[in-house]
Amino acid sequence: MPTCALHALSPLPATRAGARVGAQRGFTLLEMLAVILLIGIAAAAVAVSVTQGLASARVSAASGELAAALRATRTQAIVHGEEHTFEVDTRANTYRADRGEPVRLPSGMRIGITSAREDQVNDHTGRIRFFPDGSSTGGHVTLQRERRQWQVNVSWLTGAVSVADTSASR
| 159: helix, strand or coil | coil
What are the structural domains of the chain? 29-165 (3.55.40.10)
- State residue 18's pLDDT score: 54
pLDDT of residue 6: 47
User: What is the predicted pLDDT for the residue at 111?
Assistant: 96
Residues 6 or more apart in contact with residue 131 via CB below 8 angstroms:
77, 83, 159
The tens digit of pLDDT for each residue in 91-124 reads 999 999 987 899 999 888 999 999 999 999 999 9
For 40-64, the pLDDT digits (tens) are 888 888 877 776 667 667 777 888 8
For residues 129 and 136, give the distance between their C-alpha atoms in angstroms, rounded to a whole number. Answer: 5
pLDDT at 3 over 60: no
Beta-carbon contacts of 124 under 8 Å, excluding residues fewer than 6 positions away, are 89, 90, 91, 92
pTM over 0.85: no
- The Cα 91–Cα 124 span in angstroms is 6
Could you give the CA distance from residue 55 to residue 140 in angstroms, rounded to a whole number?
22
